[in-house]
Each structure stands twice: as C-alpha cells, then as structure tokens.
Amino acid sequence: MGRALAVIIWILTLGSVSLFFVKKWWFPEAISAHAAALDRQFVLTIIVVGVAFTAAQVGLGYVVWKYRDRGPNDRAVYTHGSNRLEVVWTIVTAVIFIGLAVMGQSVWASLHFNKAPAGAFQVEVVAQQFQWNFHYAGKDGVFGRTDPNLIDDSATNYIGLDETDPNAKDDVTHTVIAIPEGRPIELILRSRDVIHNFWVPQLRFKQDLVPGMNIRVHFTANRPGKYELACAELCGQFHYRMKSFMLVLPAAEHEALMALPQDQFQTRITELLAKYELPVYQQ
C-alpha cells in the first residue's frame, strides 16, 4: 500500500511537472517592453515552485514507502520534533519566499509607480456591456469633453462625446485600439456601467476599468500586428464575447491613421484588420 501510494504520487508529480515542461500550453509570445523581465520572473518562480513541489512529493512518497508498519513489535521513532530544524527550515523558506516577493515587485513598480513618460500616445478607453470604445484625441492631442448624459447608442455616440466642444472636432472613436509600435502608450481607463478589464495576453498586462474612476496606465508595445483583446472581469451575460482587437502599427502607418477623420478612420481600420494577421498559435 505504501509503495503503491508512493508510486502514484510520483507519477502524478511527473505528469504535473511534464505538463509545464513540454511548454505546449504556455503564454503567447510577448510583444511588450516589460514582458521580458516579467517572463523571466515567471520562469524563476515556476522553477522554485516546481522544485518545491517535486521535492515535497518525492519526500512524501519516500516516507510512505519506507516507513510502513511492519508488525506489532516495530515501534516508530519517539521524537517530538527538533527546534533546530524548525528554525532552519523557517528561515530558509522565509528567505526564498520573501526574496521572490521582493523580486516580483520590480516589473510592477516600473509600470505603476511612475506616470506615463512624456510624449506617450494617449487613448481613452471607455468600456461598456459588452463592447470596447476607444477615444482618440486627434491632431490637437486634446480629448473632447464627454458626458454620460450625452451617451446615445443608437446614434453611435457610445462615449457621450460633446460635439459642441471644439476639442472634439478632430476626435475619433472606434471599437478597435490602434497604437504605435515602440512608443509608450498611456491608456485612460473608464467604464460606463460595471467593472471590466482590459487584457491582451501578448502584452502581459491587464487592468480593471472601474466606473467612477479614471485609471491611467502605461506600457510600450514593440511588435506590429493584430492581437485579440478580451475582457477579464465578469461584466454580465456576454462577458465571454466582449471582444475586440489591438493593432500595433509602425510609427508612420499609425500617424497616418490618426490624421484621418472619423469615417475614413473606420474604413482604414477595416483595411488594417485585414492586412495584419493574428499571431500563429500552437495547436
């Protein structure tokens, strides 16, 4: 029984670790500047996790294999423990865990402890049930005023843009987000109704959009292409299909796009969505 248990535990351990090892199911290839550091931290952590997991399961299997009861005259070792061992393994564990914890803050800090760098390209994101809306400031770089009372879905004014505001003249809104490659992006995240979450897996980044708040985040994408955008916070019935795309465009192409007025912008986006392909995913 002990042997069987040990073997099963070891097989399950092997199977579990292999699932990670073969890397068949893994993060999609990253496209953001901070991703390399993040992926490194992940790999480091998962190695620690894997080693600890394997060691514990191997140890568990070993003791249940070796120390089975062999009969009435066989007694266990009478010990209540070892204070020294307790101290040692507490300290070692604490060092490793807290070390990992501290290391795990650096990417976070780089993204969240500083404001977006000057010259970042700004996009206002207004999420709603079940659609993404992106508001571009246009040539003047100033966002037009928005007001929830002006929202009119039937007139496709999803974000409540105040048409009378001069700054709104060159603004464009669309359900697709198009950002320039290699330049810091600042997102100003808002929500019309409930909490949503902006997530593109390749970016290695996600952030809640909270009604009542304007949340600013920034990152830099460095590979052109078309990527799927998903909502990552339960927002209602059709949460599973609150889908859109993120286009990362070479600088020139992006600048040309941003110069277009609303209707031409929409046409151009459709062209770009056809031009760029989704990344190839392992099957």
Partner 1 sequence: MSSETHEAVHRHEAPKSFIRKYIFSLDHKVIGIQYIILALAAVVVGVTMSVLMRLNLSWPGTKWSILGTLFPTGAPGGIMNPDFYLSLVTMHGTIMVFFVLTTAPQGGFGNYFLPIQIGAEDMAFPFLNMMSFWVTFVGFIVILAAIFVEGNTTIATSALGVWLGGGSGSTVGPIGGWTGYAPLSAVGVAAGPGQGAGMNLWIVSIAIFCIGSLLGALNFITTLLNMRTRGMTLMRMPLTCWAWFTTAVLALLSFPVLLGGGILLLLDRTVGTSFFIPGGLVFGSSVLNTHTGGSPILWQHLFWFFGHPEVYIAILPGMGATSHILSTFARKPIFGYRAMVFAIFAIGLLGFFVWGHHMFISGMSPYSAMTFSILTLSIGVPSAVKTFNWLGTLWGARIRFTTPMLFAIGFVSLFVAGGITGLVLGQTSLDLPMHDTYFVPAHFHLVMGVASIFGMFAAIYFWFPKMFGRFMNERLGKFHFWLTFIGVYCIFVPMHTMGMVGMPRRYSQFTEYRFLDSIHPLVIFVSIAAIITALVQLVFYFNLIWSVFKGKKAGENPWEATTLEWTTASPPPHDNFAGVLPVVYRGPYEFAVPGAPNDFVMQTEPDASKAGSEEVGGNGHNGHKH
Q: Which of residues 11-40 bind partner 1 (CB under 8 A)?
A: 12, 15-16, 19-20, 24-28, 38
Strand 177-180 and strand 244-249: the pairing is parallel
- What is the x/- site pattern for partner 1, positions 93-122, by CB under 8 A? xx--xx-xxxxxxxxxx-xxx---------
Q: Provide, rounded to whole angstroms, the least separation between the CB of residue 251 and partner 1.
A: 26
Burial readout 147-160 (b: 16 or more C-beta within 10 A, e: otherwise): eeeebeeeeebbbb
For partner 1, the closer of residues 144 and 201 by Cβ is: 201
Q: Provide, rounded to whole angstroms, the least separation between the CB of residue 258 and partner 1.
A: 27
Which member of 145, 199, 262, 276 binds partner 1 (CB under 8 A)?
A: 199
For partner 1, the closer of residues 232 and 260 by Cβ is: 232
Stretch that binds partner 1, among 115-123, 133-141, 153-161, 247-255 (CB under 8 A): 153-161
- Note whether 8 binds partner 1 by CB under 8 A: yes
What secondary structure, in 3-state letters, does 134-202 show?
EEECCCCCCCCCECHHHCEHHHCECCCECCCCHHHCCCEEECCEEEECCCEEEEEEEECCCCEEEEEHH
DSSP assignment string, 81-93 = --HHHHHHHHHHH
Footprint on residues 64-83 left by partner 1 (CB under 8 A): 64, 67-70, 72, 74-82
For partner 1, the closer of residues 41 and 266 by Cβ is: 41
- Note whether 163 binds partner 1 by CB under 8 A: no
- Note whether 195 binds partner 1 by CB under 8 A: yes
Q: Provide, rounded to whole angstroms, the least separation between the CB of residue 192 and partner 1.
A: 5
Footprint on residues 220-259 left by partner 1 (CB under 8 A): 228, 230-241, 243
C-alpha 13, offset from chain centre:
28
- What is the x/- site pattern for partner 1, positions 42-61, by CB under 8 A? x--xx-xx--xx--xx-xx-
The residue written with tokens 């550091």 in the block is: 37
Q: Would you say 92 and 200 are in contact if contact means Cβ atoms under 8 Å apart?
A: no
Q: Provide, rounded to whole angstroms, the least separation between the CB of residue 255 and partner 1.
A: 28
Q: Provide, rounded to whole angstroms, the least separation between the CB of residue 25 and partner 1.
A: 4
Taking alpha carbons only, the member of 186, 162, 178, 145 closest to residue 258 is: 178
Q: Would you say 42 and 79 are in contact if contact means Cβ atoms under 8 Å apart?
A: no
Rounded to an integer, what distance in angstroms lies between the CA atom of residue 81 and that of residue 274?
67
- Note whether 210 binds partner 1 by CB under 8 A: yes
- Note whether 132 binds partner 1 by CB under 8 A: no
Rounded to an integer, what distance in angstroms lies between the CA atom of residue 249 and that of residue 277?
12
